[in-house]
Amino acid sequence: MNRTVAFIGLGHMGAPMAANLVRAGHRVVGHDLVPAALESAVAAGVLPAPSAAEAVTGADLVLSMLPAGRHVLGLYDEILPAARPGTLFVDCSTIDVADARTAHGRATAAGMRSLDAPVSGGVVGAEAGTLTFMAGGGEAEFAEALPLLDAMGGKAVHCGDAGAGQVAKICNNMILGVSMIAVSEAFVLAESLGLSHQALYDVASTASGQCWALSVNCPVPGPVPASPANRDYRPGFAASLMAKDLGLAANALRAGGIHAELGLRAAELYERYAERAGSAEDFSGIVRTIRERSTERP
Ligand code: NAD
């Protein structure tokens, strides 16, 4: 069934996601604060709305893809009064678990229904329509959103109640951040002891050290030709995004009193690395800072 969808936030991710909804036959009314972002979405068939409130008037579903929790909560305050009662709000942004739960609460209090549905797969996945969605909210809401999620992605997992999608996202990325640091430290140790990258890769990738950070996104050039290390660490998954996601994980770790020394340390290391690398380098480039700091010994 074709739906009328309001899409708020047409940036790097939102614009190609909205374009895939148009391609699937939905009527997509979009808004972004940046005129150039709105214009590029319009070129892909999105109908422009002069404000977010006007975009949601008459929509069956409202999708948002914004930078952080404060943007989502600000947006919800603006648009909840303008939407039809019972409208389904699906926030695909990566935000704090606490903010996601607050957004659900505000939507419900305003007579709406809601899901959090953050994604993995990056801009490449958004363009190709192969994103993975991790959703939190009710069964019925997930079932209603599923045809739209399928139009934008290759997989959608219903993770549980309000906020569960964000929880799944930060837990997965905490594993990824910590494992990338572990793999990078192992390569630098191997270098210092005279073991070649290829030899370590050949052993660890078929032994108990095997993980995605090693066998797909290998942080040194050579063993995995498609990994960002072979193109001077152009992303891929930008260092700034890993720093952001680990920061969200660290907030949740502290709020829950979880004794996660590696998760908290990984957040610190990526925050420092991202100050220099920003969005220009893949998160696997952290191997270079480990190597540089290793030669700083007296
Ligand atoms: P982006 O900065 O390119 O896009 C965000 C857009 O939201 C911008 O165009 C901005 O103008 C707009 N915006 C902000 N507040 C608004 C408001 N009140 N009304 C209308 N528009 C508003 O960011 P992005 O790379 O598209 O990422 C979006 C979200 O997706 C983030 O939460 C990010 O963590 C997550 N994410 C990004 C990637 C990636 O590879 N870029 C991967 C996975 C998840």
How do the pLDDT tens digits run along the chain, 298 residues long?
899 999 999 999 999 999 999 999 999 999 999 999 999 999 999 999 999 999 999 999 999 999 999 999 999 999 999 999 999 999 999 999 999 999 999 999 999 999 999 999 989 999 999 999 999 999 999 999 999 999 999 999 999 999 999 999 999 999 999 999 999 999 999 999 999 999 999 999 999 999 999 999 999 999 999 999 999 999 999 999 999 999 999 999 999 999 999 999 999 999 999 999 999 999 999 999 999 999 866 5
For residue 116, how far is its CA from the centre of ligand 1 (angstroms)?
A: 15
For residue 64, how far is its CA from the centre of ligand 1 (angstroms)?
A: 9
Contact 262, 290 (CB under 8 A): no
For residue 286, how far is its CA from the centre of ligand 1 (angstroms)?
A: 24
Q: For residue 172, count CB atoms less than 10 angstroms from its CB and return exposed for 0-12, middle for 13-18, buried for 19 or more.
A: middle
Q: Is the CB of 178 under 6 A from ligand 1?
A: no
In the structure encoding, which two tokens stand for residue 272, read together? 């420092």
In the structure encoding, which two tokens stand for residue 66, read together? 């914004």
Bond preceding residue 236 cis, omega within 30 of 0 = yes
Contact 43, 25 (CB under 8 A): no
Enumerate domains of the chain plus CATH numbers. Answer: 4-161 (3.40.50.720), 167-294 (1.10.1040.10)
Give the active site residues.
Answer: 169
Q: Is the CB of 67 under 6 A from ligand 1?
A: yes
Q: Is the CB of 93 under 6 A from ligand 1?
A: yes
Q: Is the CB of 69 under 6 A from ligand 1?
A: no
Q: Contacts from 186-190 at CB under 8 Å and sequence distance 24+? A: 187/219, 187/220, 187/287, 188/287, 188/290, 188/291, 188/294
Nearest-angstrom CA–CA distance, 294 and 298:
10
Report the sign of the C-alpha dihedral through residues 220, 222, 227, 228, in that order: positive
State the pairing for strand pair 4-8/88-91: unpaired
In the structure encoding, which two tokens stand for residue 46, read together? 């999105």
Amino acid found at 176: L
For residue 129, how far is its CA from the centre of ligand 1 (angstroms)?
A: 17
Residue identified by tokens 């994604």 is 119
pLDDT score recorded for residue 238: 95
Q: Is the CB of 243 under 6 A from ligand 1?
A: no
Ligand 1: residue whose CA is nearest its atom 12: 9
